[in-house]
Amino acid sequence: MPPPIHFVHFQETIRCLSFTMAGTEAKKPSAKQSGAKKKEVKKETGLGLTHRKADNFGEWYSEVVVNAEMIEYYDISGCYILRPWSMAIWEIMQEFFDPEIKKMKIKNCYFPLFVSPGVLQKEKDHVEGFAPEVAWVTKSGESELEIPIAIRPTSETVMYPYYSKWIRGHRDLPLKLNQWCNVVRWEFSNPTPFIRSREFLWQEGHTAFATKEEADAEVLDILELYRRIYEEYLAVPVIKGKKSELEKFAGGLYTTSVEAFIPNTGRGIQGATSHCLGQNFAKMFEINFENEKGEKSMVWQNSWAYSTRTIGVMVMVHGDDKGLVLPPKVASVQVIVIPVPYKDADTQGIFDACSATVNTLSEAGIRAESDFRDNYSPGWKYSHWEMKGVPLRIEIGPKDLANKQVRAVRRDNGAKIDIASADLAVEIKKLLDNIQQNLFDVATQKRDECIQVIHTWDEFVQALNQRKMILAPWCDEEEVEADVKARTKGEMGAAKTLCSPFDQPELPEGTKCFASGKPATKWTYWGRSY
């Protein structure tokens, strides 16, 4: 028999107001009382959110990541603790990506965290713009280090001296390495959990080939894996494309990316990047090989990365006023089973049915858990697991037990579905697939509503003020993008190019650039961004 329940954490929903836990008495409040009580209790328990997504997005986001137990704030600004609830998402993405790159014959390795200053500054163009973000270790104990040591912000300069050493002849190629690690970039602007933190987790791939063709092909193969992480796992639609000369990685030849959009803020966000570095780094680090004809040639290189930022984008896109909404494919708990017993009911029978439900689902490969805690009411548990974004809740009460069924409640749309216990695994699987698809469809529809096609400067400014993601015909000139940036500078941040989509709409002959009036050469996405 569980000990009596204490209703300190009481936040009921209508369905369970009429229930009390076995051996306890809770009065059913009147509608008026229950409304008042709800507000009071929310504060007391920390359940529920005080900010709405549509009203104060920034505060809403911080509240969600903390209350969903993904993040804990740390005593160093811009640094955050990743709690198991978010780390599990990172691990699920790793479990997808790591085998995929292994199929491509990419191997994992690990290079040191520390960089000597000489090596860091070797590739000047590359590090120049980033120098203020590099963090340095200057002391050990009380004594100053003779030479300060940098902490990696990325690992080109760490790895490439060894690529130079390891690559001798064409038989050493391709060299395809990846590492899962942390990097540190001492950002000064507005830190945000997952989105902009001073330390983050990522994978960085660094590959070297004998030919440009091989490098070009890999850039796109990796970009496709990044699209799949966003679209198939996180249920976030992205646009694949090429970065402008101004926005590309300065040390490389060209940069491709997947770009997401946050409708609430009207900002684009770079989801992941896959660069072709060309031969710039090969020149600097003397990464040469003897080709089949016995001639000395330089390698062609790529680098590519996705980071824990992916998690932030997912929270921003799917979260709602009840908290986090997790796509089933990345949810560490896909189904939470909650017993809903009440007075005189067969409590043990209900608990057993919950355990059996978890077992059946687990055997079918579904990540299911039960919440048997006896110091929380069912209603409190509903709110708790909604806040944490669990895709499906299963409630089992006396009526369900009698009817040999369970009640499933969807996190994405609140729909309630009664499922015969006999069909459990099959039906829950279908529901989870449906939730995954629905999250992607709804997010795509919202994103598409924010896309505005424009042709003139006036239309551009108007669309920007309406927080749109703008698709515009452009002349693709660096000075014109710099000019657009300058002309749109303001409190909200300037507009810049997000990418030129690979999937180009038709560009009729004679179409002019929206900004310069020169002939347009391509369609490009523009907007404010993170």
Does the footprint of ligand 87F cover residue 160 (CB under 6 A)? no
Q: 115 to 144, contacts with ligand 87F by CB under 6 A?
A: 126-127, 130, 133-134
Which helix or strand (DSSP H or E) is residue 501 part of?
A: strand 496-501
- Specify the residue, 133 or 221, whose C-beta has the smaller distance to ligand 87F: 133
List, in sequence order, every residue forming a beta bridge with 305; answer none if it has no partner.
Answer: 204, 273
Rule CB under 6 A: is residue 204 a binding residue for ligand 87F?
yes
- Judge contact between 249 and 275, C-beta under 8 A: yes
Q: Which is nearer to ligand 87F, 38 or 126 (CB)?
A: 126
Burial pattern 106-129, b for ≥16 Cβ within 10 A else e, equals beeeebebebeeeebbbbeebbee
Look at residues 274, 273, 268 and name the one whose alpha carbon lies nearest to residue 316: 268
249 binds ligand 87F (CB under 6 A): yes
DSSP secondary structure letters along 442-493: HHHHHHHHTEEE--SHHHHHHHHHTTPEEEEEE---HHHHHHHHHHT-STT-
Q: Is the CB of 127 or the CB of 463 nearer to ligand 87F?
A: 127
Of 63, 195, 177, 42, give the one whose Cα is nearest residue 109. 177
Residue 153 near ligand 87F by CB under 6 A:
yes
Identity of the residue, 243 or 447, whose beta carbon is nearer to ligand 87F in the bound complex: 243
Alpha-carbon distance of 136 to 150, in angstroms, equals 4
Residue 21 found at the interface with ligand 87F (CB under 6 A): no
Write down the least CB distance from residue 76 to ligand 87F, Å. Answer: 18
Say whether residue 499 binds ligand 87F (CB under 6 A): no
Nearer to ligand 87F, 304 or 440 (CB): 304
Give the integer Cα–Cα distance in Å for 324 and 316: 9
Answer yes or no whether residue 207 interacts with ligand 87F by CB under 6 A. Answer: no
User: For ligand 87F, which is the closer residue by CB, 21 or 93?
Assistant: 93
CB of 120 or CB of 425, closer to ligand 87F:
120
Q: State yes or no: residue 264 binds ligand 87F (CB under 6 A).
A: no
Which residue lies nearer to ligand 87F by CB, 128 or 449? 128
Does residue 218 contact residue 207 with C-beta atoms inside 8 Å? Answer: yes
Verify binding: residue 154, ligand 87F, rule CB under 6 A. yes
Among 49, 208, 287, 305, binds ligand 87F (CB under 6 A): 305
From 6-14, 173-181, 300-308, 405-413, span contacting ligand 87F (CB under 6 A): 300-308
Which regions of 263-334 does DSSP assign to beta strands (E)?
267-278, 288-290, 296-298, 300-307
Residue 303 near ligand 87F by CB under 6 A:
yes
Under the binding rule (CB under 6 A), the answer on residue 57 touching ligand 87F is: no
Q: Residue with structure tokens 């009817």? A: 403
Provide the mask over 314-353, with x wherever binding to ligand 87F is found by CB under 6 A and - wherever it is not.
----------------------------------------
Query: Least distance (Å) from ligand 87F to the CB of residue 266?
Result: 25
The answer to whether 522 and 474 have CB atoms below 8 angstroms apart is yes
Distance CA 65, CA 88 (A): 14
Residue 384, by phi and psi: left (phi above 0), alpha (psi -120 to 50) or beta? alpha
Q: Is 308 in the site for ligand 87F (CB under 6 A)?
A: no
| Contact region with ligand 87F (CB under 6 A), list: 148-156, 337-345, 444-452, 486-494 | 148-156
> Which C-beta is closer to ligand 87F: that of 154 or that of 310?
154
Residues 6+ apart with CB under 8 A from 258: 223, 226, 227, 230, 238, 239, 240, 270, 271, 272
Q: Is 248 in the site for ligand 87F (CB under 6 A)?
A: no
Which of 471, 487, 474 has the alpha carbon at shortest distance from 525? 471
* Binding residues among 174-193 for ligand 87F as defined by CB under 6 A: 185
Residue 159 near residue 206, CB atoms below 8 Å? yes
Cβ proximity to ligand 87F, 156 vs 400, nearer residue: 156
Which residue type does 108 have?
Answer: N
The residues facing 178 across adjacent strands are: 108, 205
Question: By CB under 6 A, which span of 54-62, 70-78, 139-147, 149-157 interacts with ligand 87F?
Answer: 149-157
Nearer to ligand 87F, 436 or 529 (CB): 529
**Least Cβ distance, residue 204 to ligand 87F (angstroms):** 4
Binding residues for ligand 87F, total number by CB under 6 A:
16
241's tokens: 């494309």
| Residue 173 CB-half CA count within 13 A | 24
Q: Whole-number minimum distance, CB 255 to ligand 87F, in Å?
A: 8
Q: Which residues bind ligand 87F (CB under 6 A)?
A: 126-127, 130, 133-134, 153-154, 156, 185, 204, 249, 273, 275, 303-305
